[in-house]
Amino acid sequence: MNKVCAISLLAYDYEFLLKTLPAYLDQVELVILGLDRQRLTWSGNKFEIPDSFFEQLKAIDTEQKVKIVEDDFFVEGSNPRDLDTRERNILSTHAPEGSWLLSVDADEYLLNADDLIAFLREFSDDRVCLFGNWITLFKQSGKNMFVIENEPETVERFPLATMKSNIFNYCRNTPQRIVFTSTCAIHFSWARTREELERKLLNWTHRDDFKVDEFIEKWESINESNYEQFVDFHPFDGPMWHKLALVDEDQLHEYARVKSNQFNLYQAWKSVPVQARLGLFEEKVIARDAASAAMKNELEKKLQSLSEELFQCRRELGQAVNRKPGLFNGIFKNKN
């Protein structure tokens, strides 16, 4: 049975961790939290975490599963994206070898953690990276939640689990094969106060990818009367956020549950014996590779046919030249 270790980060988002950690803490063997020893973000800005947070964390962690790794995660002259990747790789080396590494950020609340972790305990494959699905909260107004409304084919997916340490090459991404699951996380990403949002956007990985000030003003302007006007408005990949849904805070988990059921690949995998799951994945890969091989074979046949036609044309032309060399010499001479 596989061990499952969670990796998360401690910085300006520390308060979210008290809400999200309990969703998976009981199911995993270890939670590894990264904390910059100088209390600097990846952008080099200072943050503080009060002692009261660590007291609350200790109260939640009754089995002492949480391990805080303090290191110099900010490096002068490096961009936030590279430092994000670097920190996750460092943290991954603190997990027992052969464990699943579950990457869950502080502002992500896993909805079906029990099923996912039960699956990971049985399923082993160090060639793949499992992806989950975000249900992104964009803004909160009282009890009204403005939620990014996605269909299954346009849902925002994020790297969630891998069995290899020190393999992250772009934040949580790895170069491994991707396997999509129906595991969902409520992503509190943008549902903050303006002050909290500004702090996040000025310090996170995508700090330099779009005009932060302009986008915050757009975020500020959204309300119950105009939210339907916001279409294809992701800051650097418009259609990724096609529209907004208005969800009552009390109905958020039910909304997320319905969405999760739409992302049913993982649910389909649960219905077959675990020993067959890798086979199902391999069948998909084999089918893809077979399609590529068939296309390659077809192109090679066409190329061979064209080569044969060209050879035949050259031979016929050579025969014609040999029969009447004077005629062809004259033609070539006139063209010159």
Residue ranges of the domains in the chain? 4-271, 285-335
For the entire predicted model, the pTM comes to 0.74
> Residue 270: its pLDDT value, please?
46
What's 96's DSSP letter?
P
273: phi then psi, degrees, rounded to nearest 5 = -55, 145
Segments of the chain scoring below 50 in pLDDT: 265-283, 285-286, 330-336
* Rg (the chain; Cα; Å): 28
Structure tokens at 308: 């044969």
> Residue 280: its pLDDT value, please?
46
Locate tokens 């009390």: which residue?
250
Q: Which residues contact 255 (CB under 8 A, 6 or more apart)?
A: 135, 147, 245, 247
> Residue 197: its pLDDT value, please?
82
Instruction: List the one residue out of 85, 86, 84, 99 whose CA is nearest residue 30.
Output: 99
Instruction: Give 4-271's CATH code, choosing from 3.30.1380, 1.10.20, 3.90.550, 1.20.58.
Output: 3.90.550
> Residue 67: its pLDDT value, please?
98
> Residue 324: its pLDDT value, please?
61
> Residue 130: its pLDDT value, please?
92
35: β partners: 10, 70
> Residue 331: its pLDDT value, please?
46
Residue 111 to residues 24, 79, 198: CA-CA distances in angstroms?
9, 32, 27
> Residue 7: its pLDDT value, please?
98
How many residues are listed for the chain in this entry?
A: 336
> Residue 274: its pLDDT value, please?
47
Q: Give the C-alpha separation, 280 to 264, whole Å.
A: 15
> Residue 275: its pLDDT value, please?
44
